Amino acid sequence: MTSSILNQNTGLAEEDLLRVNLYRLLARCLSSPIDKPFLSILSNLQGDDTELGQAFSSLAQNSSDTTEQKAAEEYQNLFIGLGRGELLPYASYYLTGFLNEKPLARLRNDMVPLGIERDPESTEPEDHAGALMDMMAGLIDGTFVKAQPIAAQKQFFESHIAEWTPHFFKDLQTAKEAKLYRSIGVVGEMFIEIEKAAFEM
């Protein structure tokens, strides 16, 4: 992926900068409707000939083919709806079938020593997929108290992301209301699997 998209922290190794930008891209897409400026950014993504690169090219094309209004309607139908959206992007729901359960409590306990605080403007529980993507980015680039070593990143990833987000991203690819978000689901699933493999090395 090449773009002037998000974090340009030159203090990071190139691989970690790419990871941060991917996490932040997913966080942005999942946390709020995609507006016109961000659609423009997504439309200008360029992928290489790898499988993930091709997924980015598909995301760029689909972003070019949609409008701000259509993206907002898609987000509404997928994640908000009338009463609830088609998908519930929360760790508690995917792991227990209910909201605000033990996975959320464990996450809150783990956030404290890492210096991660709940956004006071957010109405979402902290185990929302978008929030977790943002937390991972912050652990890598030091947005919170300081950049965390690989061991701490791995522990957080395996405790709060690895088990359920691949299922969520697969569901996003097949959701009835998903069009643009199908491409986001593909990118998300591939990236999480890459992270899993890297942490296992």
The residues near 169 (Cβ < 8 Å, ≥ 6 apart) are 185, 186, 188, 189, 192
* Residue count of the chain: 201
When divided into structural domains, the chain yields a total of: 1
Distance, in Å, from the CA atom of 69 to the CA atom of 13, rounded to the nearest integer, reads: 37
Does residue 5 form part of some domain?
A: no
Per-residue pLDDT at 45 exceeds 80 = yes
The residues near 138 (Cβ < 8 Å, ≥ 6 apart) are 116, 144
- Verdict on whether the full-model pTM lies above 0.75: yes
> How would you classify residue 8: left for phi > 0, otherwise alpha for psi between -120 and 50, otherwise beta?
alpha
Range of the domain at 180: 14-200
Does residue 79 form part of some domain?
A: yes
pLDDT for the residue 6 = 52
Distance, in Å, from the CA atom of 156 to the CA atom of 162, rounded to the nearest integer, reads: 9
Does residue 63 form part of some domain?
A: yes
CB 120 within 8 A of CB 114: no
The CATH number of whichever domain residue 19 belongs to comes to 1.10.3480.10
Does residue 26 form part of some domain?
A: yes
CB 185 within 8 A of CB 173: yes
The residues near 177 (Cβ < 8 Å, ≥ 6 apart) are 74, 77, 78, 86
Give the pLDDT confidence of 73-119 residue by residue, as tens digits.
999 999 999 889 999 999 999 999 999 999 999 999 999 999 999 98
Does residue 69 form part of some domain?
A: yes
Does residue 114 form part of some domain?
A: yes
Does residue 9 form part of some domain?
A: no
Does residue 4 form part of some domain?
A: no
Mean pLDDT estimate for the chain: 93
